Amino acid sequence: MFSSIRKSLLTIVVLLVLFNALLYILYILLAIEPGAFTGTVFLHLSLIAVGSLAVSSLSIVFFTRSMTTSLKSIAGFIQDLVPGQPFNKLVSTREDEIGELAHETNQLAERTNEKFHQLSSERNRLDLVLSRIEDGIFLLDGEGIIRNINPSAETIFGINKTTSVGMSFIEAVRDYELDKPVRKCLRTKKPQQEYLDLRHRGLYLGMIATPLATEPGCLVLIQDLSRLNKLEMIRKDFIANVSHELRTPVSSIKLLSETLEEGALEDPGVSKKFLGQMIQEVDKLEGIVEGMTTLAKIESGEVRLKKKPVDIVRLVEQVTKRLQGMAAEKEQALTVVIPAEEVLVMADALQLEQVIFNITHNAIKFTPPGGTVTIRVTFDEQQVVVSTSDTGFGIDPADLARIFERFFKSDKSHSSQGSGLGLAISRHIIEAHSGRIWAEPAPGGKGSRISFSLPV
C-alpha cells in the first residue's frame, strides 16, 4: 500500500514524466517530419504538455506548502513544551506520515511528562530522606563541585544550600583537613574515612567519602560527634576530678594513721589531735560522696521536686539564723535586706533552702575575718531575685561562669575548703525551678555576688 506522501510524490513524478515524454515526442516528430506535423496535433500536444507542467508545478507548491505548515506547527509545539507542564495536544487531520509524526509527538510529550513526574516524585522522596538524616550529606561531581547537600550539612557548617550548590567542596566547608580525604576519594575512587578534631570551630567530626558507583564523583557523609566528644571529655574530666578530690583526704588519713601506728598512738595528746584531723578528712570525704550522690540523683531526675507555695523571705531568714554562728566565729557581719511582706514562689522548700545555704555559706567561707556578707531579696511582678554579696577574695572574671561546673574551684589557694560541687548542685536545683543563677563581682568592687532568680 502506498502512503499519502509517496502517492503525491508519485503523481507529481508521473505528471513530470508525461510532460517530458510529450516534449520528447514533439521534438522527434518535428525533427523527422516537420511537414507532416499539422497545427492541430501540435496544438493538442502542446496543450497536454503545458497542462501537465502546470498541474505538476501546482501540486509541488501545494504539497510543499502543506508539508511546511504541518512541520512548522510540530516544531512550534516541541519548542513550547515545558517538561512537567500541561500542554494542548497537536491536532492533525492528516493521515500521512506527518499526521503520524504529530501523533507520535503527542505521545512523546505525554511520556516525557510522565517520566518527569516520576523523576520529580523520586527526587522529592530522596530530598525527604536526606532532610531526615541527622548526618550531613554532600553529593559531589567528579570535579568536587557540590551538586546537592542536606539540611544537616547546612547546620553543621553554617552554610546555605542555594549558595553552596555549584561551589567546590573546599569553598563551602573552608577547611583543608576536610577537603583532603574528599580529594583522595575523587582521585583514587576508593572510600575514605577520617575523624577530624576542628577545635578552632568547636567541631569534632566523623567523615566518610564514598565514590559514586555509576559516574565520577563522591558522596560525603559527615557525622557531628562534637557533643559525644564533649561528653567523653566531661566524663574524663569527671573521673580525673573525682580522683583528685578523693586523693587528698585519703592520703591525709593514710599518713595520719601510719604516724599513729608508728608510735604516735602512745602519746595521748598527739593521738587525740591526729584523730580529730582524721575525722575532719573523713567529713570531707563524706561531703564529696554526698555531693556526688545528690548531683547524680538530680541529674538522673531521681529527685522529685515537691513544689508548693513557699515564702522565700522566710527561707532566707532561716538560713541566716543557721549561719549566724559561723559568721560570728569569723567576726563577719551577716546582714539581710528583705521585703516586709512575704514573697511566694512555687518551689521545693528544702531544695531552695539548700541553694540559699550554699551561696551564703560560700560567701562566709571565701571572705576573710572582719568582712561583710549581705543577703538581699528583691522582687517585682515577674520574678524574685536572691543575691548574696560579700567583701571576700572575689572570683577571677574568667571563672565567673565556670564556678557552676562540677568540681570547679576558682581560687586554687582555697581549694581545700570544699568539694566544688555546691554550686553545680545549686544550678541544677534553680534550673529545675525554671530559674537562673549567675555570679558577678560585688557592687562595691571587692568580693563577689552570687544571685538567682525565680519566677513568682
Q: Which stretch binds ligand ADP (CB under 6 A): 58-66, 145-153, 173-181, 389-397?
A: 389-397
Q: Which of 395, 386, 401, 374 is nearest to 447 (CA)?
A: 395
Q: What is the dihedral of CA 310, 312, 314, 320, to 10 degrees?
A: 140
Q: Which stretch binds ligand ADP (CB under 6 A): 89-97, 128-136, 196-204, 388-396?
A: 388-396
Q: Give the number of residues in contact with ligand ADP, rule: CB under 6 A.
A: 23
**274 binds ligand ADP per the rule CB under 6 A:** no
* Residue with smaller CB distance to ligand ADP, 157 or 366: 366
Cα angle value 65/68/74 (rounded, 5°): 145
* Residues facing 206 on adjacent strands: 195, 223
Q: Which stretch binds ligand ADP (CB under 6 A): 64-72, 75-83, 295-303, 387-395?
A: 387-395
Minimal distance, residue 449 CB to ligand ADP, in Å: 8
By beta carbon distance, the residue nearest ligand ADP is 418
Minimal distance, residue 307 CB to ligand ADP, in Å: 24
The three cell numbers of residue 75 are 516544531
**320 binds ligand ADP per the rule CB under 6 A:** no
383-390/436-441 β-pairing: unpaired
Minimal distance, residue 380 CB to ligand ADP, in Å: 25
Identify the residue whose cell numbers are 531579696.
Answer: 377
Minimal distance, residue 375 CB to ligand ADP, in Å: 12
Minimal distance, residue 360 CB to ligand ADP, in Å: 9
Buried b (16+ CB within 10 A) or exposed e, 205-224: bbbbbebbeeeebbbbbbbb
* Residue with smaller CB distance to ligand ADP, 351 or 410: 410
Minimal distance, residue 333 CB to ligand ADP, in Å: 15
Site for ligand ADP in 50-89 (CB under 6 A): none
**448 binds ligand ADP per the rule CB under 6 A:** yes
Count of CB atoms within 10 A of residue 383's CB? Answer: 15
DSSP state of 212: -
Q: What is the dihedral of CA 109, 113, 115, 117, to 10 degrees?
A: 180
Minimal distance, residue 414 CB to ligand ADP, in Å: 6
**393 binds ligand ADP per the rule CB under 6 A:** yes
Q: Which of 337, 421, 342 is nearest to 375 (CA)?
A: 337
Judged by CB under 6 A, the residue of 347, 390, 430, 453 near ligand ADP is 390
* Residue with smaller CB distance to ligand ADP, 19 or 366: 366
Buried b (16+ CB within 10 A) or exposed e, 251-261: ebbeebeeebe
Site for ligand ADP in 333-372 (CB under 6 A): 358, 362-363, 366
Minimal distance, residue 314 CB to ligand ADP, in Å: 23
Cβ-proximal residues to 102 (8 Å cutoff; 6+ apart), any chain? 70, 73, 74, 90, 91, 92, 94
CA–CA separation, 196 vs 198, rounded Å? 6
Minimal distance, residue 311 CB to ligand ADP, in Å: 25
Site for ligand ADP in 396-425 (CB under 6 A): 403, 408-411, 414, 418-424
The three cell numbers of residue 242 are 573525682
Which residues contribute to the site for ligand ADP (CB under 6 A)?
358, 362-363, 366, 390, 392-393, 395, 403, 408-411, 414, 418-424, 448, 450
